[in-house]
Amino acid sequence: MNVPIIISGGGIIGNYISVRLKRHNIESLIIEKSSEPQDFSAGIRTLTLNNHTLSLLQKEKIEVETAPIDQINALDGEGTGRIKFLSDDIGENFLSHVVMFNELKNKLAKACHERTVFNNQIESIQNLNQNDTNEVLLSNGSSIEAKIIAGCDGRKSNVAKISGLSNKSSEYNQTAITFICKADKNFDRKIAHQVFSEKGIFAVMPMPDRESIDNRCTIVWSVNNKNLEGLSINDFVSSNLSFFESKLGIKLKIDSQLLNFQLSNHHFENYINNSIVLIGDAAHSIHPLAGQGINIGFADADIFCEEVVGAYNKGIAINEAAVLKKYEIRRKGMNLLMLKSMDFFVYFFNDNNSYIRLLRNWGLKTVNKTGFIKAFFTRHASGLNKI
Ligand SMILES: Cc1cc2nc3c(=O)[nH]c(=O)nc-3n(C[C@H](O)[C@H](O)[C@H](O)COP(=O)(O)OP(=O)(O)OC[C@H]3O[C@@H](n4cnc5c(N)ncnc54)[C@H](O)[C@@H]3O)c2cc1C
């Protein structure tokens, strides 16, 4: 079998790339390790998509239910500092859109179903005839020839391991806890809140809820592991939730199971090795505090497709070194900047030193009063400045 592009990983990013390339008549085959999805429930996990990501999905006619946000309030839990980011500040209707992870993943997976091989993974990649074609061996024993192998297989990427590319990673020693709540009437469904506190970074956002009867919202709460020592996640949440309720003036009733994830980051020094390309979480992962992980994955996928489609339309080989290098050059610096900015926020708001606390309060108030700095952050968060 012969196909121009093999995509390892049928997650959101891998499937999006396949859908977009198909629109431009470029065939791809997705190799997905897990079995065919059977669970079509909405689930608990949400994703915050910026305006740019949403427009990329709309172009591919992938429609999902959204909870749009036009204001984000960031507060210092131990002080009085706060910043309000408004969509009006940047002349947009909304800053971001909360969607259900499963709904988006399943819609994209459905669009790619006929070109996905489930329960399989790449075992080896062998370069044939001077870089032009690669022989890809799968775990089911079959062999496929491809020009490009796109690693979209997440933060433990198998393709990255095979490529021999090297990365830098670090642990945050934090756990992200996520769950759904029913909020009282004080919760405005267009506003997201984020509280930076010694009890963790606590984000509350509206979630898609067609009828809005239950006023449901989603919580993403990053907690230092030392605060969890000797406590179950349930005990920690039930004894600390009231702190954030009183800080925000909103009553929250837990309405789902509590999911938790260990937090770490990683970044590959190079995203390409010959015809192997790393995209999305396979190339980098960041702290979820600003909800940007999938957005920078989409920004990668956008540029990757732009370069490959551009080369294809000009009759240039799609795996030409310069084509893939351009993708790496256009994305690596931006991704690294995002990763470093997230790390700065995590460490700055994690420090209990009283001078740092004063600086935090002063910083939040100053940025809030300085229109152009605020607009700069808001434009980045909403995806207006391509991240
Ligand atoms: C608690 C939490 C909250 C988050 N919230 C947000 C948010 O609000 N907004 C946001 O932008 N981002 C958020 N993120 C980050 C976001 O979830 C990820 O960036 C995103 O899921 C990455 O997508 P991906 O397709 O690159 O990788 P993945 O979602 O990891 O998909 C990888 C796919 O590859 C498959 N696979 C794995 N190994 C192999 C293999 N060997 N062979 C073949 N297939 C394989 C997997 O089964 C999967 O289908 C959050 C993350 C966490 C932990």
- 2/220 Cα distance (integer angstroms): 43
276 CA to middle of ligand 1, Å?
A: 19
Q: Are residues 175 and 295 in the same domain?
A: no
Residues near 246 by beta carbon (within 8 Å), at least 6 away in sequence: none
Average pLDDT over every residue of 16-40: 95
297 CA to middle of ligand 1, Å?
A: 9
Q: Are residues 302 and 273 in the same domain?
A: yes
- pLDDT for the residue 209: 79
- 193/327 Cα distance (integer angstroms): 34
CA geometry: angle 73, 384, 374, nearest 5 deg = 40
User: Token digits for 12?
Assistant: 């959101």
Decide whether any atom of ligand 1 lies within 6 Å of the 151 Cβ: no
Q: Is residue 293 part of a domain?
A: yes
Q: Residue 232 carries which side chain, given as an amino acid letter?
A: S
Instruction: With beta carbons less than 8 A apart as the criterion, state whether 152 and 279 touch.
Output: yes
Provide, rounded to the nearest whole percent, the portion of the chain with pLDDT above 90: 74
Q: Are residues 238 and 308 in the same domain?
A: no
Q: Is residue 370 part of a domain?
A: yes
Instruction: With beta carbons less than 8 A apart as the criterion, state whether 20 and 60 touch.
Output: yes
Q: How many CB atoms lie within 10 A of CB 323?
A: 21
Decide whether any atom of ligand 1 lies within 6 Å of the 48 Cβ: yes
Q: Is residue 312 part of a domain?
A: yes
Grade residue 22 by pLDDT with cuts at 50, 70 and 90: very high
Q: Are residues 198 and 223 in the same domain?
A: yes
Decide whether any atom of ligand 1 lies within 6 Å of the 154 Cβ: yes
Q: Is residue 58 part of a domain?
A: no
Closest alpha carbon to 263 in 167, 176, 169: 176
Residues near 301 by beta carbon (within 8 Å), at least 6 away in sequence: 13, 16, 17, 20, 56, 152, 279, 280
Closest alpha carbon to 104 in 159, 161, 165, 60: 60
Q: Are residues 247 and 329 in the same domain?
A: no
154 CA to middle of ligand 1, Å?
A: 5
Q: Are residues 238 and 328 in the same domain?
A: no
Q: What is the pLDDT of residues 344-366, one digit of tens each?
A: 877 766 666 665 666 666 666 66
Q: Are residues 307 and 376 in the same domain?
A: no
Task: Count structural domains, the chain.
Answer: 2
239 CA to middle of ligand 1, Å?
A: 30
Average pLDDT over every residue of 205-223: 87
- 180/259 Cα distance (integer angstroms): 10
Q: What is the pLDDT of residues 65-76, one digit of tens each?
A: 999 999 999 888
Report the nearest-CA residue for atom 37 of ligand 1.
153
Q: Are residues 136 and 248 in the same domain?
A: no
Bridge-based pairing of strands 272-273 and 216-224 is: unpaired
Phi, psi (deg, nearest 5) at residue 343: -65, -40
Q: What is the pLDDT of residues 330-346, one digit of tens each?
A: 999 999 998 988 888 77
Average pLDDT, the chain: 90
Pocket test for ligand 1, best of 153, 159, 276, 380 (most atoms within 8 A of CB): 153
Q: Is residue 52 part of a domain?
A: no
Q: Are residues 139 and 270 in the same domain?
A: yes
**CATH assignment of the domain containing 95:** 3.30.9.10
- Name which of 134-148, 199-213, 239-253, 357-371 the model is least confident about: 357-371
Q: Are residues 178 and 247 in the same domain?
A: yes
Q: Which domain holds residue 363?
A: 67-101+171-263+353-382
Q: Is residue 24 part of a domain?
A: yes
Q: Is residue 54 part of a domain?
A: no
Instruction: With beta carbons less than 8 A apart as the criterion, state whether 156 and 167 touch.
Output: no
Distances (CA, A) of 97 to 86, 138, 176, 287, 323: 14, 37, 20, 19, 32
- 264/55 Cα distance (integer angstroms): 29
Decide whether any atom of ligand 1 lies within 6 Å of the 207 Cβ: no
Q: Are residues 255 and 179 in the same domain?
A: yes
**CATH assignment of the domain containing 10:** 3.50.50.60
- pLDDT for the residue 108: 97
- pLDDT for the residue 258: 98
Q: Report whether pLDDT(387) > 80.
A: no
Q: Is residue 51 part of a domain?
A: no
Q: Residue 264 carries which side chain, given as an amino acid letter?
A: S
11 CA to middle of ligand 1, Å?
A: 7
Q: Are residues 157 and 277 in the same domain?
A: yes
